[in-house]
């Protein structure tokens, strides 16, 4: 059995993994609670924690999920890790989550050999979170195909699909730097 403490936002949590695997339904219930999906909505449509969902529209017909969505999907094997992007449905995250949760910690690396040792104890949680966020948080149908991308084609080149806000913050020069007026 793997034991430890997980610290998040200054608070410590017991991170002892069950040798028999995690409880998918309980994990999903806790994630739903953490996402605060029942928060009051002051607009027409809300997603996580009572935040407006952006209004939907035609843009939702061709959704992209990047970063950790790609890394997990490619490492658990429901998309090709050599392809810059692939189509998959949220249901694939749910199926992989249920499978990972049933496994004891010692068996995760056997079934999912591309998962790094540091991520093994969190595989059930990570996959369940992604499924819950897509389906319950964003309201996607579990069978709706979305694009899961590491790189996207721009003209004749492929560029890395990184977290947009983080990329923008890194790319833009600061208006003021510490010590400069």
Q: How much is the pTM?
A: 0.79
Could you count the other beta carbons within 10 Å of the beta carbon of residue 161?
21
Question: Tokens in use for 1?
Answer: 């059995």
pLDDT for 175 equals 52
pLDDT for 88 equals 97
pLDDT for 52 equals 65
- Residue ranges per domain, the chain? 22-171
| Cα torsion 171, 172, 178, 179: sign | positive
Fold of 22-171: Nucleotidyltransferase; domain 5 (3.30.420)
- Are residues 127 and 112 in contact, defined by beta-carbon separation less than 8 angstroms? no
- The alpha helices in the chain, defined as continuous H runs, are 24-35, 68-76, 90-102, 105-111, 123-132, 164-171
What is the full per-residue pLDDT of the chain (181 aa) written as tens digits? 556 677 767 888 776 666 666 889 998 998 999 888 888 888 777 778 777 666 666 666 788 888 899 999 999 999 999 999 999 999 999 999 999 999 877 899 899 999 998 888 889 999 999 999 999 988 899 999 999 999 988 888 888 876 555 555 555 555 544 554 4
Please state, in angstroms and rounded to a whole number, the distance separating the CA atoms of residues 180 and 83. 45
pLDDT for 118 equals 84
pLDDT for 139 equals 86
Strand 157-160 and strand 151-154: the pairing is antiparallel
């Amino acid at each position: 059995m793997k034991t430890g403490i997980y610290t998040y936002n200054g608070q410590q949590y017991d991170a002892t993994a069950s040798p028999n695997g995690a409880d998918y339904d309980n994990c999903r219930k806790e994630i739903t609670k953490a996402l605060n999906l029942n928060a009051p909505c002051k607009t027409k449509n809300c997603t996580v924690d009572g935040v407006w969902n952006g209004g939907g529209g035609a843009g939702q017909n061709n959704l992209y999920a990047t970063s950790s969505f790609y890394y997990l999907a490619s490492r658990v094997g429901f998309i090709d890790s050599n392809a810059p992007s692939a189509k998959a449905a949220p249901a694939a995250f749910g199926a992989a989550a249920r499978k990972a949760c049933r496994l004891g910690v010692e068996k995760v690396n056997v079934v999912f050999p591309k998962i790094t040792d540091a991520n093994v104890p969190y595989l059930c949680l990570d996959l369940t979170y992604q499924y819950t966020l897509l389906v319950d948080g964003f309201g996607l149908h579990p069978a709706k195909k979305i694009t899961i991308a590491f790189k996207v084609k721009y003209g004749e080149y492929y560029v890395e699909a990184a977290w947009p806000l983080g990329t923008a913050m890194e790319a833009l020069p600061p208006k003021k730097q510490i010590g400069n007026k």
